[in-house]
Structure 1
């Protein structure tokens, strides 16, 4: 679902509701599974792209300073022109690079004392007078806030933070 990020939203900062304006900035309101599914569909439709479900990568092989093969569980090599590691925080890539004598990129950690919770709710016609986005920003005096975003299938995703 598309939305003008200011016209279709309630922004509340420091206890004040901001005026609505036509911003010309379009936001895409979609759940993560919807977005990931669309990206996957588009990528797998590209020529030369192969998805190997239920395969586990166990390492990388390099030729002339370039990754050319992904080693799969079971030992079989998978030649590759491009390798994308989308495994998140549990990524093994830094270890594999170290095994190959390649210095992994520097890691920077920022410690924050922030907690949040997210839940989905059913969205009904007329909820929030038709607004699709609600942002209640935290402030130094009130360090709690929240965001509600409309999503596909008549759902809200609501995140509270503090």
Structure 2
């Protein structure tokens, strides 16, 4: 099937099976490898992207659900790591292995757009992604820094 989607502000046309998950369209068809495959059952969040500004787990949603939608991947945050979250992530040395971080960034960006000054409870509620390295305290600090709040 032929689908039209906007990815990181660019209109794209892909010809893929209707049941192909968005994750594989992004990685294999469009070469956007920042979005990672983690668990394949929408639990870990490594594959998190934004669909019309809302975080979604791209591994479980078939392409037919995304036709005509706007998708933002980690590559769409900024071309040069200048997004406040990216700066805070680097400054705070958030990643350990880094595998989950693109999904974390996409969930955090959606949170800050919805709640520019989130509480720790807001962060905990919004960031449901899994990090095997356990960098959650650094993630929380980076989100607070990006929001212009004290790192706590």
Q: Same fold by TM (over 0.5)?
A: no
TM bucket normalised to smaller: under 0.3
Give 1 or 2: higher helix fraction: 2
Instruction: Normalising by structure 1, report the TM-score.
Output: 0.22
Instruction: Normalising by structure 2, report the TM-score.
Output: 0.23
Give 1 or 2: higher strand fraction: 1
- Larger Rg belongs to: 1
